[in-house]
Chain A
Amino acid sequence: MRTMYRKHFAYSFIAPSLILTLVLGVYPIGWAIRYMFYDYKGYGQERFIGLENFTQLAHDSQFWESVFNTFVYAGGKLLLTLPLALILAVILNTKLRGRQLLRGIFFMPTIISSAVIAVVFFTIFNSYNGILNQFLLKYGVISQKVDWLGPDHAMLTTIIVAAWGAVGNYMLLFLAGLQNIPVDMYESSSLDGANKRQQFWYITLPMLGPVLQMVIMLAIITSLKGYESIMVLTEGGPVGKTEVMYLYVYKLFFPVSTASTVLDQQFGYGSAVGFVTALIVGAVTLVYTLMSRKLNRMY
């Protein structure tokens, strides 16, 4: 009797969370899985078409370009942020003067919305009256305006903006990992005559292994997923140069007023693209997990 009574309590405590999760978290996924097999524009008739969306997807060069772009974007972002974050963390883990302040400064970007970051950087990078161009012109570094958000540089600019917002976060995670390494390991190794560089390669990196693996995993997922700042900064343009997978999916679901690419709203096709995109992200994560496990065994 008593446990019955307590059970009812438990269910009533869990109900709000469970209902919200089921209705707004699980149902939408079911919705998408159903519409993958439909032709449905969001209005009018919906029609079951089997796997046709997926055959269309296979020939959709715009999508595969966005896949390519996503990997360039994610790769660039990781190459820029992770080493920098690690270096900063290692430096700020030493007894350096003003390290608290520096930690605070480097962490600051992560509390700002990526949309707001994109807007601010837009005022810096836009070619017409952007601050960067004005500055470079004034000091004679360049003789004519550089189109930072144009086809040639847009991807690099997007990566820089993303990196600016992400370094602090990874730095902090690395710092947390570094603080778990016992100090006496360094002390005894320096008694044995190891220098700073040797300590980094033979103590810090191996000891940081698990944290490193987790942070890299986190970084891979978030950079493959992220499209908010790109949406604000370039809308995927110019001419699809910064179109990433999830932004492409987004455009299939919501009408976008953009000069770059105008797509038809297509819920069925969008669901199929979204599903494949999630699979791609999942596959990359899986490959990474397997690889890092192998590396683990090699050590």
Chain B
Amino acid sequence: MYAFIQRSALWIFLLVVAIVTVFPVAMALLGSFKTNAEIVGGASLLPQHWIGSNYADAWKQAHFSTFSWNSLFVSTATTIGTLIVTAAAAYAVDRFEFAGKKLYVGLQAATMFIAIGAVVLRPQFQLMVKLHLHTSLWGVILILISAHASIFFILLSFMNGIPKELDQAALMDGCNPFTTFWRIILPLLGPGLGVGALFTFRAAWNEYLLPFVFTMNSPKLQTLTVGLAGLRYGATAAAQTNLIMAGACLSILPLLLVYVLANRSFMQMTAGSLKG
């Protein structure tokens, strides 16, 4: 009897936490199918009539088609760029001896721990203005790529697991370090690159401040996160909770899908990065 009560209490606790966790997302999802009047007026969970027009409105009127494209562009470019930069650097650090190697690794480690926060945004912005990269999203992408230290360390540990004999053999066969990197190392680095891609893509997709700062004067370049937060400031925001919900779902669902598909490796790697 006592065990039964204990077990029930445990499950009630777990269910309550689960409901609290799921509730906001479920609410956004359900709300995205309601009319605005229904969201504002009532507290029924399920929509009375399921309508899809919020998505059409968000997609067209609230420019979420542009936002989605921008988000996809920033995230994809950042992911590709980060992987190239970090894989090359990890290859050099793991396979070659060169002066200043320790300094370089120390520099990468330091960038992860110095928390100067909002200050660096300004000089980064000024720099991009000087390079004329502030009128496109390339400035944002370059800055996001530059924050690659954690991915570098992840790839470094994966690189460590690839036997060195392989590239020596390749060298014997007439490969130079570039072709060895391209033909031998990169294919073998697959799992590491996958994890790195997942992390980088998620970070870039979710980034708010950088694109916000860079697109203050050019709404056409806004990403999903920026456009969505903008809806809430908009003159008509109070009346458009339904659009906010649809927009939120547009920004959450793609990542949620990737996450469900890659659930296991996602969780394992996040946990694994602790052991480092």
Chain A residues engaging chain B, CB cutoff 8 angstroms: 3, 6-7, 9-11, 13-14, 16-18, 20-21, 23-29, 31-32, 84, 88, 91, 102-109, 111-124, 128-129, 131, 134-135, 137-139, 164, 167-169, 172-173, 175-177, 180, 211, 214-215, 221, 224-225, 227-228, 231-232, 246-247, 249-250, 253-254, 257, 267, 270-271, 274-275, 277-278, 281-282
Contacts and interface: CB of A to CB of B under 8 A. Distances in A.
A227 B99 CA distance: 39
Interface string B115-129: 111111111101100
A176 B244 contact: no
Chain A at the B interface: SS class: helix
B119 A13 contact: no
28 contacts: A3-B97, A11-B98, A20-B142, A21-B111, A25-B111, A25-B147, A29-B116, A31-B126, A32-B116, A88-B17, A102-B18, A103-B267, A104-B267, A109-B25, A111-B255, A118-B229, A119-B248, A123-B31, A131-B27, A134-B42, A135-B43, A175-B271, A211-B274, A228-B208, A247-B118, A249-B117, A274-B116, A278-B116
A225 B112 CA distance: 13
A116 B142 contact: no
Interface string B222-257: 001110110111000010010011001001100110
Interface string B41-67: 111000000000000000000000000
A246 B10 CA distance: 39
Nearest to A9: B177
A108 B98 contact: no
Given A131-B43, A134-B40, A134-B42, A116 B206 contact: yes
Contact of A108 (B91, B146, B256): B256
Contacts of B271: 172-173, 175-176
A17 B155 CA distance: 13
For the complex of A and B, the 7 pairs showing the least CB-CB separation, nearest first, are: A176-B271, A113-B206, A274-B119, A115-B208, A10-B96, A24-B146, A13-B92
B21 A116 contact: no
Contacts of B251: 113, 116
Contacts, number: 262
Nearest to A27: B123
Contact of B259 (A111, A274, A282): A111
Contact of B119 (A114, A120, A271): A271
B117 A277 contact: yes
B267 A172 contact: yes
A231 B115 CA distance: 18
A221 B116 CA distance: 12
Contacts of A106: 17-18, 21
Given A231-B209, A274-B117, 18 more contacts: A10-B98, A31-B126, A103-B267, A107-B267, A114-B206, A116-B248, A116-B252, A119-B231, A122-B232, A123-B241, A169-B270, A247-B118, A250-B121, A254-B121, A254-B216, A270-B118, A275-B116, A277-B117
A116 B27 contact: no
Contact of B18 (A105, A113, A121, A267): A105
A173 B267 CA distance: 9
Contact of A29 (B98, B114, B241, B245): B114
Given A28-B120, A113-B206, A138 B43 contact: yes
B96 to A, nearest CB: 4
Contacts of B274: 173, 176-177, 211, 214-215
A247 B118 CA distance: 8
Contact of B123 (A11, A20, A32, A169): A32
B166 interface: no
B92 A119 contact: no
A104 B231 CA distance: 30
B134 interface: no
B146 A6 contact: no
B152 interface: yes
B104 interface: yes
Nearest to A176: B271
A17 B85 contact: yes
